[in-house]
Amino acid sequence: MFHKLKEKWNVNWLQFTLIFTTFALGGSSCAKLASYILQLFLSEKDFIYWIIYLPMVTILWPICVIIISIPLFQFPFFKNYLKKMWTRIKGSTK
């Protein structure tokens, strides 16, 4: 599985490891940040907390991944990755 992704992204093993590290740190940090922000206003026990939490994580994830990709020198990869993702979400064929 990892070998196929490495070939698909056309990267070496070091870059592949840094990309996966960026994904992991970006996901964890956006979840923690969203939780921290929401706990200022709501309790985790509130149903509305989880209704707001999911879209908030969805919005924060690309921001966190881009910020974390900079010190790991993976910014060009994630800039292109998020650009492709946005194109697919919009449904554009450009």
Encode pLDDT of 27-72 as tens digits: 999 999 999 999 998 887 888 998 999 999 999 999 999 999 999 9
Q: In whole numbers, what is the pLDDT of the chain averaged over residues?
A: 91
The answer, as to whether pTM is greater than 0.85, is: no
**CB 16: neighbour CB atoms within 10 A?**
16
Residue 87 lies in a domain: no
Q: Is 40 helix (H, G, I), strand (E, B) or coil?
A: coil
Quote the number of domains for the chain: 1
Average pLDDT for 11-21: 95
pLDDT band, residue 87 (cuts 50/70/90): confident
Residue 39 lies in a domain: yes
Range of the domain at 50: 19-81
Residue 44 lies in a domain: yes
Residue with tokens 């599985």: 1
